[in-house]
A and B are shown apart, each in its own frame.
Chain A
């Protein structure tokens, strides 16, 4: 372990080894600068996300965090550990299609243990049980929605923390931070309650649940800049190999790499500066029909 100064001037602990828990890292005295500079952009994002996570934990009875193993939900877990001083005080739910990349499963099993995560893995139902009128990739994603619904019924969660971002995709830009879902998990985009001044609607009707979106206001570049600053582990598939890398990770059979030479996070950030290719370009389900993604979200997809 060693200490490094970061841009904001606040000394932060960096470590190549992820820490086990709070006990191991307590009582480490840090030299504080005489004057603390104002918050930078990442500090502001982090503070807002922590506020949202703490509101969710205070106002809902049975929370779970949806851990898709991607860069966004890993940042979210990191933020939860910050919010709750080293531990994630609710389960992390992985709705498993069984078709993720092997690297993703390895990552899950390693860090669930190292981060002391209460991991719940729920398998999705067979593809036959899913709406056959959807295009193939969307149908595959809809299967995940079904898996999520089954997990909700089984555990009785009243709040699901999800790592979606406004900049990812147009329909996600419409989301609230606390987003009520109907009894079937569906999203009524036209009848969303007002949400302002960080006051959230946290009373889902009996039997329904809320989605909570603590990183809704982050961008793809923010996620990478924060991952770099905090030294958060990532799945190597995000880094370029043979001229290609994954910008977004989903099921192995419907997710494709983009052309890239970015071999570390600095290079990813430089690449994002210039690119005009959307982040989810490699996600087949977004591109089958104009409204496929919205239909999925209305039905309860993330």
Chain B
């Protein structure tokens, strides 16, 4: 026998127009959530035939009195523990709603499961035992409903049979919980006296609660509104990915709010670059005309080539999100180790992921406790307000302005450890979008290619100092030029003397150095030149960033000359200086070079002539479509 949930009743009617609402029932452990759910299924006629009888038979066989909660205790582990341990989803119908019920566990151990369940809900029922009254988990769950952004909350005071259906006792609890929720900005839609076990107040008003004039639980559920995508708010399209499966460069993501259509002028944050939507792509029909609204997963193409990547947020000009490196947020914390000032964390906001550090902690409290005693770190299952400093600028909104791009999660060791609402953002230097409209060249790519007999490319030579990058780059430059091409050398050290003279050798400065080299090289490549970059570029992540910028024009050549040979060559005298202690962060001796994987070519200059190596590079460029053997090949490559 298998205790399947009543999946059969989950069938939604063909072409239904009944709104579907997702609700969560929360509250202190043992206050009767599972009993209420079992009773609701029964009262709404949602149980499969024979299910009730079967469960009663199982109870009898086990020598236990029947409990409504058995309906939900579908896992043997749950029955063994006597508590519900996770989110299950079951469905029933009220007069005008299809209700999806997400049961969230009340045990403090399982707060992460309660949050997982409740975060999917349109509305919540907070259940309180009439005898026990408001408990710590009642308050904690109330607080989390507020932090999860759930506005529709009905309170039920259960087990009224245990207090002789006392209107006075009901009034006490109603006043206490209403004050708590109102203080959080959550106004309960109803406070209902019930006995889930006997059925009073669940679907019907019984004489025992004759003094109560408000809605029953079923009526309260029937009044819930499904959460609607925020079509009326400004456009927010967090970029999930850029796809180049064919000749289209599609920016993919889900519209979190607002709407977009082809022709719209958009701004890409945090960089603030402006572009126009060329097409809205789809499958099997494409392109799509007309506006696409919040909630849809879309793909768009832009009218110009801009560097755009996962994590950027697209908005409309004049209504874009902020660009910020600093966020103030109200969060809940689920990790065993308390969150403290100075902690290094990973932030996810929209599709952006960035390292961050906790600059300050404020108002850290146990939301379940009566006294709001503040501490200087946020313990597990507690809440607090934090200031976060981000390693890179991101696009964000305050929660009250744009909920979907105004909330974040915190990850520790690859696991979600907390989350919360953005209360405010400190706008960075580019809070006002910069209208950079790149001027297109007068020449077409094929015109240049016809003259040079090659397409644009970024050739990236990476390797240890002294490995032979510059030697190869110079020889290749000469070879390409002799053959009528347009090579341009970008030497890392040469650029450091000018364009990059403000940069040192810290990790951040090295990354910025690489980014600028890549941007300049990519600009040259887009204009048909072969940009030859010779740069140690020891960090794989920096080279990956360069590849993202240059995109399909990128060709990485690893000059893999053995380290001892590089040091023996020492063309610039750096190794000698470093060994003498004069160059503390010199890559040749600090062993911080990360060899590439997936590079287009590897060359060891210790065992071959320069001319031979240049031949091989030329072959690679021909094979990967940069150099054309014949003018006739042009047609195939443009």
Contact = CB atoms under 8 A, between A and B. Distances in A.
Contacts of A244: none
Contact of A194 (B15, B296, B416): B416
A116 to B, nearest CB: 11
Nearest to B290: A32
A266 B112 contact: no
Interface in A164-214: 166-171, 173-174, 176, 189-190, 192-197, 199, 201, 203
Nearest to A292: B2
Contact of B8 (A189, A276, A292): A276
Given A26-B286, A44-B295, A173 B10 contact: no
A131 to B, nearest CB: 18
A279 B12 contact: no
A168 B246 CA distance: 38
Interface stretch (A85-93, A102-110, A122-130, A139-147): A85-93
B296 A43 contact: yes
A51 B409 contact: no
Nearest to B89: A166
B296 A196 contact: no
Given A32-B290, A290-B1, A294-B76, A86 B284 contact: yes
A280 B7 CA distance: 10
Interface string B232-246: 000000001101011
Contacts of A50: 254, 297
Nearest to A47: B297
Contact of B289 (A32, A85, A166, A275): A32
Interface residues of B, number: 77
A170 B295 contact: no
B252 A54 contact: yes
Given A47-B295, A167-B10, A85 B286 contact: yes
B415 interface: yes
A251 interface: no
B11 A38 contact: no
B229 A39 contact: yes
Interface string A255-271: 00000000000100110
B115 interface: yes
Interface stretch (B80-88, B180-188, B190-198): B80-88
Contacts of B113: 192, 194
A293 interface: yes
A13 B284 contact: yes
A98 interface: no
Interface string B21-59: 000000000000000000000000000110000000000
B395 to A, nearest CB: 16
Given A85-B243, A173-B5, A197 B293 contact: no
A298 to B, nearest CB: 10
Contacts of B334: 194
A290 B414 contact: no
Contact of B241 (A36, A58, A201, A277): A58
Interface string B141-170: 000000010000000000000000000000
Given A36-B292, A273-B13, A279-B7, A54 B297 contact: yes
Nearest to A222: B12
Interface string B404-438: 00010101001110010000000000000000000
A132 interface: no
Contacts of B291: 36
Interface string B67-90: 000000011110000000111111
Contact of A278 (B8, B120, B407): B8
Interface in B91-130: 91, 112-113, 115-116, 119-120
B348 A22 contact: no
Interface in A32-81: 32-36, 38-39, 41, 43-44, 46-48, 50-51, 54-55, 57-58, 81
A36 B290 CA distance: 7
B4 A83 contact: no
Nearest to A298: B77
B16 A171 contact: no
A291 B292 CA distance: 46
A84 B245 contact: yes
A92 to B, nearest CB: 17
Contacts of A277: 8, 48
A262 B427 CA distance: 60
Given A170-B74, A194-B115, A197-B419, A81 B283 contact: yes
Nearest to A265: B14
B282 interface: yes
A221 interface: yes
Contact of B12 (A170, A174, A193, A221): A221
Given A194-B416, A290-B2, A32 B288 contact: yes
A169 B8 CA distance: 11
A171 B75 contact: yes
Given A13-B285, A173-B88, A23 B2 contact: no
B297 A85 contact: no
Given A36-B293, A43-B296, A84-B245, A273 B87 contact: no
Given A7-B15, A30-B285, A85-B283, A293 B295 contact: no
Choose among A36, A38, A294 the residue with the greatest number of B CB atoms under 10 Å from its CB.
Answer: A36
Nearest to A15: B284
B414 A201 contact: yes
Interface of A: 7, 11-13, 15, 19, 22-23, 25-36, 38-39, 41, 43-44, 46-48, 50-51, 54-55, 57-58, 81-87, 89, 166-171, 173-174, 176, 189-190, 192-197, 199, 201, 203, 219-222, 225, 266, 269-270, 272-273, 275-280, 286-287, 289-294
Given A82-B283, A192-B113, 16 more contacts: A27-B286, A36-B291, A43-B295, A54-B240, A167-B91, A169-B7, A170-B4, A171-B74, A171-B75, A194-B115, A219-B10, A221-B11, A278-B4, A278-B48, A286-B2, A294-B75
Interface of B: 1-16, 20, 48-49, 74-77, 85-91, 112-113, 115-116, 119-120, 148, 228-229, 231, 240-241, 243, 245-246, 248, 250, 252-254, 281-286, 288-293, 295-297, 299, 310, 334, 348, 351, 407, 409, 411, 414-416, 419
13 contacts: A22-B246, A25-B284, A27-B286, A30-B288, A36-B291, A36-B292, A85-B250, A167-B10, A193-B415, A219-B7, A278-B48, A286-B2, A294-B75
A-B complex: 7 closest residue pairs judged by Cβ atoms: A203-B414, A196-B119, A170-B74, A32-B289, A32-B290, A194-B112, A272-B11
